[in-house]
Amino acid sequence: MAVKLDGAALAAKIKMQIREEAAALPRPPMLAVVLAGEDPASQIYVRGKERDCAECGVHTRTHRLPAEVSQGDLLALVEQLNQDEAVDGILVQLPLPEGLDPRPVLHALAPEKDVDGFHPLNAGLLALGEPGFQPCTPAGVLALLDAYDIPIRGRRCVVLGRSHLVGRPLAQLLTARDGTVTLCHSRTEDLPALTRQADILVSAAGRAGLVTAGMVKPGAAVVDVAMNRRADGKLTGDVDFPAVEPVAGFLTPVPGGVGPMTRACLLKNVLRASRLRQAR
């Protein structure tokens, strides 16, 4: 039976450490959150992030904007937060309401306040293997593998999903750690032949039931990033958990796996942004 990769427990430990480190700074870190529109999932995510920050002594200021906000007003708010000396990190909750283009908004963020790691400068630094703000979900996956001493160097890693937020940066992080990475997507042919070679298999496709037991190499570490909403409202990943559990060596639950690690890595980025600004 696979060892459970317990993201919730690890995230709780990381948060305790962040709390101590935040308390040692001259002033508490400050995260500004921009939430446009009424998307119910986004409201839940933002509340969760506010709670995490409060638990760790990180201050938050959430700017709630109507769904009808104009692109120009949104950009003006980002610019104002860029200039605000009290703000260490800025998080623009995605997705934006229909009609708003997220790209100019993310491009407008001051890279040193880009705690989600989505600004092109931070994406470029990641591609070059240089230090910058790393996106929270891929960083969370790496932290989880490291906590369970799962080796990456020289191992075959297969990532399902090539989004700029998850799959692609994760492939870059695994490559930087000397993994041999195959990045798959919806046009990949014969997915099972590739996944069966994986020592580390990460699924971030957002397709419930995509990863079956027959696609998993015995003993592999299987990380399920996806959060799919079932008809009954419950969350489920991409991996057929009960079928894969007896085959895999390590397996993340959903929820309680990558989700809490993503949130912990956001806090890490806010702490880092604050520390860098306070040291200037």
**Residues involved in catalysis:** 49, 93, 116
Instruction: Name the residue type at position 158.
Output: V
How far is Cα 29 from Cα 10, in angstroms, rounded to an integer? 22
Number of residues counted as binding ligand NAP (CB under 6 A): 26
Q: Does 163 bind ligand NAP (CB under 6 A)?
A: yes
Binding ligand NAP by CB under 6 A: which of 109, 259, 270, 271? 259
Identify the H or E element spanning 65: strand 59-65
Q: Maximum distance among all alpha carbons in the chain?
A: 55
In the complex, least distance from residue 159 CB atom to ligand NAP, rounded to whole angstroms: 9
Shortest gap between Cβ of 215 and ligand NAP (angstroms)?
Answer: 11
Distance, in Å, from the CA atom of 144 to the CA atom of 35, rounded to the nearest integer, reads 28
Per the CB < 8 A criterion, the answer to whether 57 and 19 are in contact is yes
Is residue 246 reached through a cis peptide bond, with omega within 30 degrees of 0 on the bond before it?
Answer: no
By CB under 6 A, the residues from 216 to 235 that bind ligand NAP are 225-228
Query: DSSP labels for 65-79?
Result: E-TT--HHHHHHHHH
Q: Taking the complex as a whole, how short is the minimal distance between the CB of residue 194 and ligand NAP, in angstroms?
A: 10
From CA 47, how far away is CA 24, in angstroms rounded? 25
Question: Residues 118-157 vs ligand NAP: string with x where CB under 6 A?
Answer: -------------------x--------------------
Binder to ligand NAP among 49, 119, 162, 217 (CB under 6 A)? 162
Contacts with ligand NAP by CB under 6 A lie at: 137, 160-163, 165-167, 184-188, 191, 204-207, 210, 225-228, 258-259, 262
